[in-house]
Amino acid sequence: MNRAFWEQHACLPLTLDADVADLLRYRRPGGAYVCVNVGYAPHSREDSLAYIDHFTRAIEAHPDLALATTVGEIDAAVPGDRIVVAFDLEDSGPLGGDLDMVGTFYDLGVKSLLPSYNNGNAAGGGCLDAVDSGLTAYGRDLVRRMNEVGMLVDGSHCGTRTGLDLSEASGKPMIYSHSAMRGLWDHPRNITDEQARECAATGGVIGIPGVGIFLGANTATLDAFLAHIDYAVELVGPEHVGIGSDYSFDAEDIMTELADNPELFPEEYTRWGVIRFVEPETTLLVERELVARGYPEETVRGILGGNFRRVAAEVWT
């Protein structure tokens, strides 16, 4: 039986000529939902709004893609094997300090947001900060507004203390959209066992990424990807694990970003040279491998997409 696939985080080039047809690499029997980044720490409100406008118009014009603003629209993709798309923000900076923008972005299709990208900002600490003092008063106000609007609270890229504060502050399930397990590979971008447990305690889901430097020593293999899935399943239970591969459709752009923003990407990102990614075609093989490993049908459905769907159905308005 076909299972809908849910990709909680992928990255098209953040340019105004990015080709959304790249998302067709996720095409599979049973359809797919792909959440696409529309901005992070270096980007202004105007930048992110421009990316959303470009992606929206391009997706609407493409015969094999569609925007998804509700869980029902995602479900409708299954019988037609369609790909539906929504957006996320990887930093609160594009809000420009205006909490009313949470609702504006949500109405434009941004379904999740993480407060701080690698380094601290007005909302909270980042995973690469020497000291993470946690969510600020503004950060807590941001979480409350996101809960009110129906936007998923995301702890990826945040510091450990800030991530734990998100679990405490959110009145709805939170997620780590694309975070691997630090207990398996000690990288500062990965989350601790405590973070994973506290996320699960909210009813949330951890999306395992396919970025080589988060899985191991730049180890972008299916086996490394599955090892982090297995670890998370053992730690918090299969109902709290999903996929957020963080695949970049233009790896050259990533390496340029690393060079242009050294304060955002220190040695922990650059020591292995060109970053490797598990590609969409390989990510789609997770389903086959979970079945081969004896994972029950219902568990495979959950990891492949049902768990993130459950949380979205509870949080999105």
pLDDT over 90 (residue 177): yes
d(CA 300, CA 288): 9
Task: Tell me the per-residue pLDDT of 113-125, one tens digit each, with 9 for 90 and over.
Answer: 999 999 999 999 9
pLDDT digits (tens, 9 = 90+) for 218-272: 999 999 999 999 999 999 999 999 999 999 998 777 778 778 877 777 888 888 8
pLDDT of residue 125: 98
Question: Percentage of residues in the chain with pLDDT exceeding 70?
Answer: 99
Average pLDDT over all residues of the chain: 95
Instruction: Report phi then psi at 294, rounded to 5.
Output: 90, 15
pLDDT at position 1: 44
| pLDDT, mean of residues 153-180 | 98
Tokens for 67, please give them. Answer: 């925007």
Mean pLDDT of 270-298: 95
Lowest mean per-residue pLDDT among 69-78, 104-113, 118-127: 69-78
SS3 182: coil
**Domain ranges, ordered by start, for the chain:** 5-115+175-315
The radius of gyration of the chain from alpha carbons, rounded to an integer in Å, stands at: 18
Distance between CA 96 and CA 283 in Å, rounded? 35
Q: What is the DSSP string of 80-108?
A: TT-EEEEEEEE-SGGGTT-THHHHHHHHT
What is the per-residue pLDDT across 123-136, written as a single tens digit (0 to 9) for each? Answer: 999 999 999 999 99
CATH architecture for residues 5-115+175-315:
Alpha-Beta Barrel (3.20)
Q: Quick check: 153 and 176 in contact, CB under 8 A?
A: no
The pLDDT confidence band at residue 310, using thresholds 50, 70 and 90, is very high
Confidence category of residue 79, pLDDT binned at 50, 70, 90: confident
Res 144: pLDDT: 98
Q: Which residue has the higher pLDDT, 12 or 267?
A: 12
